[in-house]
């Protein structure tokens, strides 16, 4: 399935958001995710089904100041 993650195209075999993140190596517990512009909580990622063409945004906290 073709998806876009942080504006870059990716091909994944996973059918859920959680599975796609694992497949792409994005496994930090401190990640925030959005699917097609809507926030998806960590608890909902396992049940969030992906479809071809979905847009995923992944944000990680940054330290500094």
Query: What CATH number should be reported for the domain holding residue 7?
Result: 3.10.20.30
Answer yes or no: is 65 within a domain.
no
Backbone φ and ψ of 12, nearest 5° = -130, 155
Check whether 51 has a pLDDT greater than 80: yes
Question: Which residue range(s) make up the domain with 47?
Answer: 2-59
Number of domains in the chain: 1
Answer yes or no: is 48 within a domain.
yes
Answer yes or no: is 26 within a domain.
yes
Average pLDDT over every residue of 32-42:
97
Contact partners, residue 17, CB within 8 Å, separation at least 6:
33, 35, 40, 44, 45, 46, 48, 49, 50, 56
Average pLDDT over every residue of 41-62:
95
pTM to 2 decimals? 0.91
Total Cβ atoms within 10 A of residue 43: 8
Answer yes or no: is 64 within a domain.
no
Average pLDDT over every residue of 22-50:
96
Answer yes or no: is 16 within a domain.
yes
């Amino acid at each position: 399935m073709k998806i876009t993650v942080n504006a870059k195209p990716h091909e994944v075999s996973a059918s859920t958001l959680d599975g796609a993140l694992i497949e792409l190596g994005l496994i930090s517990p401190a990640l925030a995710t959005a699917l097609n512009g809507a926030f998806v909580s960590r608890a909902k990622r396992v049940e969030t089904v992906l479809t071809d063409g979905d847009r995923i945004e992944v944000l990680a906290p940054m330290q500094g100041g």
